[in-house]
A and B are shown apart, each in its own frame.
Chain A
C-alpha cells in the first residue's frame, strides 16, 4: 500500500544575483521551511534528504548532498543529490514522495540550490550548455537558447504566427514577478521593449530568456496520514508524473511537442484520478517564452497552436481563467537551476494556503507544477491540492 505524501513546510530565498553562497542559501531556505511548519518539526525527526543541484560552475559537483545535511543540521541522515538539469527539483520532490510512499522515510527534507552568478561570464556560458547534447548540438554552436530558438522558429512557422505570443508571455510573467518579493526581476516590461531587445537566438530575444540566478528552496515532505501532526493546512501531493525523451532535439520526430512533458502530465493526472478542469493554476517551465506555450499544449490545456491565442487573449494572466506562472515563472522569478522545481512547489504551497500575498490567485485549490530538464530530455509534473 503506497502512502500519499504531503508538504508540511516550505521555504525559499529570494532568486537573483545575490551575495550569499550556496551554503548560506541552503541554510536560509531550510530554516524558512522549518519555520513554516505551524506545529513545529524537530530536525532530529528528518530521516532522509534529497538535494537538487546541477553543481553549476563546478562548485562541489560530487557529494554535494552532504552539504545539505550539514547546513540543515541533520548531518547523519542518508542524503542524495538528484541531477536532471533544470528538472532536478521536480525529480528530487518525486524521490521524496517515493521515499514516503514506500515507507522508507517519515520526514524528508528536499532542497534545491544553484549559485550561478559568482563565476566569470565566459565560464558561465560554458556551463549553460552542459545539460544539452554536447556531441552534436553544442558542436553546431548551440546552447539552450539556440535549441529553444530552433523550436520557436518551428512553432511559429507551423502555426503561421509572428513573435507576438512569445512577447506576451514575457510581459505577463514580468507583471507577475513584479508582485513577488522573491523574484529576480520585479519590474514590468512593455511589449515594445521585449520586441526591440537584442536577439540572442532569433526568434528569441533577450527578454524571451530567463535570467541566470542564485537561489535555494526547501520542502518538508511527510506521509499524508501524519501531516496534521505538523500543520492544519498541509498541501497534499495528489499526482506525480515523470518521463524522459531523447537528449538531442535532432533525434526527436516532433520539435514542437515535448513527449516527456506529455507523458509526465498524463501520468500525474491518472495517478491522482484528476481532470484538467480541477486545476486552479499552473506553474510551468518557461526557461524561454516558447517553453510556456509548449507547456500549455503538452500538459493538455490547449490544442496545438492554441496556447499562443490563449496567451494573447490574456487567458493565462493571474486574474484570468487559467493563471500561468503567478510567481513570475522562470522568466521573471528567476531560474537557479536546481532550485527551480523546488521553488515551483514552494509557490504551490503558498498559493494553496492562501499566503501568496499580492500575487495570490483567488480561490486556488489545486496547482500543477511542470519542471523540464534542458530542452525536454526530462520532465516532471506534480499536482498539489488541499482537499
Chain B
C-alpha cells in the first residue's frame, strides 16, 4: 500500500522581523534542496524514476538540477503554492503509480512583505510502498490556509504524534528562533549578477566542469573499491589505491557530523576574486578541511557562523548553499555549519 515514508522541513537560516529569511547564500533552490535531501535520507536512490511535485513558486531552472540532488532521474510535476495546490499534490502522490514520489512545498516570501510573520521554508513528503509513518491526508489540509508551506507544517504537526522521530526531520515546532549566532546579512542578492570583468580569466571553472562534479559536490559521492576497500573521494571512477576501474561501488558519504582537521580564516585580500562581493558584504570567512568519512576529506567554506568559531577537532554538518555567481548564474556547493551540541 502506498503511504507516507518520511517528511522533512527546513527553515531558512536568516532571521529578520520575527521570521526566518534566507541567509545571503540561500535561495529557493537551496531551501528546497535541503528539505528534499533530508526527506530522501535512507531511501534507495536507485529506484527510478522519482516523481517530484514542486508546490510553490520555484524557478524552472531548478528542475534541471533535481537529479543531481536525488541521484535518480526525475519526473517533475507542478502545483500552486496554496493549500489547494498542496492538497492536490498529496492526493496525486497517494494515488501515484509505481515508484516513489515526493511532494515538496517551498516558499520564500519577499522580505519587505508587511503581512504577518511568514517563514522562508521548505517541506518535503516522501511517498512509497513500505512501512508507513503517517498518512499526510490531503483531506486534512486546511483549505483556509494561504501558504502551502504553512499548511504542510500544520499537517505534519497534526500527524506526527506517535510516529518515529527519525522519519520527521527538521524544526517543525519552532515559532520564534533566537539565533544561536549571527547569520550575517539577509538575502539582498536575488539574481546572480554577471561579473563580466571576472569572466574567462585565470582559474576559470567552465560550467561543464562544475556540472561534472555535482554528484560529488552535492551528494558527496565516492567510489569504494571491492578489492582493497579504499574509498576514493571525489568519485572519479578509479580506485586511488589500486587503480581498479571496474565494479567500483558508488556510495554517498554522510553529509553531517564531519571532523574538522584544519581551519583558516580568509581576510585582507586572501580570497579569490570571485569571492570579492561576498567579502565586501560580509567580511572575512572561515574555510575548513573536514573528514566526512575515513580517508575522505573535503574543503568547505563555513556559513551561519562567526569566522574562527569552528576549530580543529570540532564537528560540522553540511548544507547546500550558493558559492558565487558566474556568467549570470549561481554556482552551488556544500558549506559547513557548526554541528549543534
Please tell me if A270 contacts chain B, counting CB pairs below 8 Å: no
Q: Is B180 at the interface (CB under 8 A from chain A)?
A: no
| B9 contacts chain A at the CB level, 8 A cutoff | no
* CB-defined contacts of B268 to chain A, threshold 8 Å: 198-200, 206
If A130-B203, A137-B299, A249-B289 touch, whether A142 touches B266 (CB-CB below 8 Å) is yes
What's the Cα separation between A136 and B272 when bound, in Å?
A: 13
Q: Which residues of B contact A251 (CB under 8 A)?
A: 233, 240, 297
Stretch in A145-153, A296-304, A347-355, A362-370 touching the partner? A145-153
Known contacts A140-B287, A142-B287; 16 additional CB pairs below 8 A are A122-B198, A122-B276, A123-B273, A125-B271, A127-B203, A129-B203, A134-B203, A136-B217, A141-B271, A142-B264, A145-B270, A154-B312, A199-B284, A200-B266, A202-B265, A204-B264
A126 to B273, Cβ gap below 8 A? Answer: yes
Choice from A139, A145, A253 contacting B205 with Cβ under 8 Å = A139
* Cα distance A126–B209 in the bound complex, in angstroms: 18
Residue of A nearest to B261 (CB): A154
Determine whether B61 belongs to the interface, using a CB cutoff of 8 Å to chain A: no
Q: Within the assembled complex, what's the spacing in Å between the Cα atoms of A294 and B25? A: 36
Annotate A118-135 by CB proximity to B: 1 below 8 A, 0 otherwise.
Answer: 000011011101101011
B243 to chain A, nearest CB (A): 14
A206 to B267, CA, bound (A): 10
Closest CB of chain B to A114's CB: distance in Å? 13
Bound form: Cα–Cα A264–B273 in Å = 33
A311 at the interface (CB under 8 A from B): no
Contacts of B308 in A (CB 8 A): 202
Pair A126/B201 contact, Cβ less than 8 Å: yes
Q: B298: which of A132, A136, A204 is its contact (CB, 8 Å)?
A: A136
Chain A residue at smallest Cβ distance from B300: A140
Contact A202–B272 (Cβ < 8 Å): no
* Complex interface: chain A residues within 8 A of B266 (CB): 141-142, 145-146, 149, 200-201
Contacts of A139 in B (CB 8 A): 205, 210, 217, 323-324, 331, 333
Contact A154 B272 (CB under 8 A): no
Per-residue 0/1 for B203-223: is the Cβ within 8 Å of any A Cβ (1 yes, 0 no)?
111000110010001000000
Cα–Cα distance between A41 and B43 once the two chains are bound (Å)? 74
A149 near B270: Cβ-Cβ < 8 Å:
yes
1/0 contact trace for A255-268 toward B, CB 8 Å? 10000000000000
A-B contact count (CB 8 A): 143
Pairs A–B under 8 Å by Cβ, sample size 8? A58-B202, A126-B202, A130-B203, A141-B266, A152-B264, A201-B265, A203-B264, A255-B289
- Given A141-B275, A250-B297; A200-B270 close (CB under 8 Å): yes
CB distance from A336 to the nearest CB of B (A): 16
B201/A153 in contact, CB under 8 A: no
Contact B298 A126 (CB under 8 A): no
Cβ of B197 within 8 Å of any chain A Cβ, yes or no, is yes
Cα A198 to Cα B298 in complex, Å, equals 27
- B289 A150 Cβ-Cβ under 8 A: yes
Residues of A within 8 A of B (CB): 57-58, 122-123, 125-127, 129-130, 132, 134-143, 145-146, 149-154, 157, 198-204, 206, 248-251, 253, 255
- Which applies to chain B's interface (DSSP): helix, strand, loop or mixed? mixed
The interface residues of chain B lying within 8 Å CB-to-CB of A130 are 202-203
Interfacial chain B residues near A249, Cβ < 8 Å: 289, 299
Chain B residues within 8 Å of A149, by CB: 264-266, 270, 287
Alpha-carbon gap, A285 to B9, bound state (A): 50
A123, A135, A202 pick with most chain B CB within 10 angstroms? A202
Bound together, the chains give a CA A127 to CA B203 distance in angstroms of: 7
* B273 surroundings in chain A (CB, below 8 A): 122-123, 125-126
Question: CB of B234 within 8 A of chain A?
Answer: yes
Question: In the complex, what distance in Å separates the CA atom of A204 from the CA atom of B301?
Answer: 17
CA distance A290 to B284 in the complex (A): 21
Q: Shortest Cβ distance from A210 into chain B, in angstroms?
A: 13
Kindly report which residue of chain A lies nearest to residue B263, judged by CB atoms. A153
- Contact partner of A153 among B262, B271, B297, B301, CB < 8 A? B262
Chain B residues contacting A199 (CB-CB under 8 Å) are 265, 267-268, 270, 284
Q: Is the CB of A126 within 8 A of B287?
A: no
Q: In the complex the two chains form, is B205's CB within 8 Å of A140's CB? A: no
Residue of B nearest to A145 (CB): B270
B162 within 8 Å of A (CB atoms): no
Bound-complex Cα distance A146 to B209 (A): 22
